[in-house]
């Protein structure tokens, strides 16, 4: 049987109230008595059930999620997963607040992080923009003992506690390998369509993609990166111009969002099957593009897993418990039209 607080009290020769004060690090216990209790804990091998203790005390976890606003379908799916978690708040003892900021707006994101800091939550989850003022805001949260998890796009060097997202360099390398193999020995350049180089996930994907293309498919020309701000209308305009400038275009790697604009431009130009297109994230629009053959492959990250992972990590940090790394690893899914799940996950 697992040792209990009653066993600790008997072993140390103290009351249950004294054991409770030691376990909760409250004052009013003499140092010699505290040492006896701690020795009893070590001797008995007692491991505290923090979840049960929190349930008994009706503890809740106030968390703040900071997400980009706009038409990005993946981000709206991410927000839907956060709201799903909010609907389970009674059973999971969560108190979640969502703050929205304009996409890729570093000053607005830094201000939102400082707003979150004033709320004194147990933790903050944020889709990061890699900028000095954002990094500084995260550091200030951490200095105040508030745990921070970056979602989807990381912010190394900020002191954040955890990153809930895929290995984006690996994702870019995977896209490069698929692109090179799909195109074979044909000619024609490849375009790269990003949202913004201000976010780490887009830069990491580009790094991985270029590394594979330059190493394994060096004869294939890669065009300068186009930034579509994850805006479908802007993406459609940019791809229209791209197809006009490069009628021999062989492939497009879309490493951001706005894919409904990409699909519309390709199909309008009659290039839906002629240009090899690899994109990210399974959304209703990208699913339709994959089924029609306009998109050849999708690399996906499970938004629900990322939100659940962020919540688990923030709760563990609040309780002083270790994070199980294997449980929090987010996998990269590769979808062709042949292996699409029946329903979007």
Specify the fold of 5-48.
434 Repressor (Amino-terminal Domain) (1.10.260)
3-state helix, strand, coil in the chain (%, to 5): 50, 15, 35
Query: Among candidates 305, 299, 268, which has minimal Cα distance to 286?
Result: 299
pLDDT tens for the chain, 345 residues long, are 778 888 899 999 998 889 888 876 667 788 889 899 989 988 888 876 655 555 555 568 999 999 999 999 999 999 999 999 999 887 778 999 999 999 999 999 999 999 999 999 999 999 999 999 999 999 999 999 999 999 999 999 999 999 999 999 999 999 999 999 999 988 899 999 999 999 999 999 999 999 999 999 999 999 999 999 999 999 999 999 999 999 999 999 999 999 999 999 999 999 999 999 999 999 999 999 999 999 999 999 999 999 999 999 999 998 888 888 888 999 999 999 999 997 644
For residue 262, which phi and psi values (nearest 5 degrees)? -65, -50
pLDDT at 344: 47
The token pair that represents 45 in the structure block: 């091998």
CA within 13 Å, CB half, 217: 25
Task: Decide if 5-48 and 168-300 have a common fold.
Answer: no
Please answer whether residues 301 and 105 qualify as being in contact, where contact means their C-beta atoms are separated by less than 8 angstroms: no
Show me where the domains of the chain are located.
5-48, 56-164+303-328, 168-300
pTM over cut 0.85: no
Please answer whether residues 65 and 125 qualify as being in contact, where contact means their C-beta atoms are separated by less than 8 angstroms: yes
Q: Identify the DSSP state of 30.
A: -
Please answer whether residues 285 and 254 qualify as being in contact, where contact means their C-beta atoms are separated by less than 8 angstroms: no
Q: Which residues pair with 282 in a beta bridge?
A: none
Dihedral (CA of 42, 46, 47, 49) sign: negative
The token pair that represents 213 in the structure block: 């293309």
Dihedral (CA of 136, 78, 305, 284) sign: negative
The single residue listed with the structure tokens 């930034």 is: 227
From first CA to last CA, the distance across the chain in angstroms is 41
Per DSSP (E only), the strands in 195-250 are 226-227
What b/e readout covers 255-293, taking b as 16+ CB neighbours within 10 angstroms? Answer: bbbbbbbbbbbbeebebbeebbbbbbbbbebbbebbeee
CATH 3.40.50.2300 fits 168-300, yes or no: yes
pLDDT at 16: 83
Please answer whether residues 34 and 22 qualify as being in contact, where contact means their C-beta atoms are separated by less than 8 angstroms: yes
324 by DSSP, 3-state: which?
A: coil
Provide CB contacts within 8 A for 245, sequence distance 6+. none
Please answer whether residues 277 and 296 qualify as being in contact, where contact means their C-beta atoms are separated by less than 8 angstroms: yes
What b/e readout covers 29-53, taking b as 16+ CB neighbours within 10 angstroms? Answer: beeebbebbeebbeebebeeeeeee
State how far the Cα of 113 lies from the Cα of 162, in Å rounded to an integer.
16
Superfamily of chain region 56-164+303-328: Response regulator (3.40.50.2300)
């Amino acid at each position: 049987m697992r040792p209990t607080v009653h066993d600790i009290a008997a072993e140390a020769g103290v009351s249950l109230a004294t054991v409770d004060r030691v376990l909760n690090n409250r004052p009013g216990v003499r140092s010699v008595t505290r040492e006896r209790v701690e020795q009893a804990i070590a001797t008995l091998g007692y491991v505290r059930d923090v979840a049960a203790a929190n349930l008994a005390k009706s503890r809740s976890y106030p968390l703040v999620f900071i997400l980009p606003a706009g038409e990005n379908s993946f981000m709206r799916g991410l927000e839907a997963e956060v709201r799903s978690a909010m609907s389970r708040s009674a059973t999971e003892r969560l108190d979640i607040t969502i703050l929205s900021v304009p996409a890729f707006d570093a000053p607005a994101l830094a201000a939102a992080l400082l707003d979150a800091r004033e709320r004194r939550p147990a933790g903050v989850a944020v889709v990061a923009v890699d900028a000095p003022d954002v990094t500084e805001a995260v550091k200030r949260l951490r200095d105040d003992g508030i745990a921070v998890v970056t979602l989807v796009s990381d912010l190394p060097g900020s002191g954040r506690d955890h990153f809930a997202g895929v290995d984006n360099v690996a994702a870019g390398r995977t896209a490069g390998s698929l692109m090179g193999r799909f195109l074979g020995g044909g000619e024609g350049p490849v375009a790269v369509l990003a949202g913004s180089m201000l976010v780490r996930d887009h830069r990491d994907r580009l790094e991985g993609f270029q590394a594979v293309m330059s190493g394994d498919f060096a004869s294939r020309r890669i065009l300068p990166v186009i930034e579509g701000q994850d805006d479908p209308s802007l993406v459609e305009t940019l791809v229209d111009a791209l197809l006009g400038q490069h009628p021999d275009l062989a492939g497009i790697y879309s490493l951001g969002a706005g894919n409904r604009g990409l699909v519309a431009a390709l199909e309008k130009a009659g290039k839906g099957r002629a240009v090899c297109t690899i994109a990210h994230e399974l959304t209703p629009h990208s699913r339709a593009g994959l089924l029609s053959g306009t998109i050849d492959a999708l690399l996906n990250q499970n938004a629900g897993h990322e939100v659940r992972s962020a919540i688990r990590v923030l709760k563990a940090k609040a309780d002083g418990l270790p994070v199980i790394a294997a449980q929090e690893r987010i996998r990269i899914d590769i979808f062709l039209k042949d292996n699409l799940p029946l329903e979007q996950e």
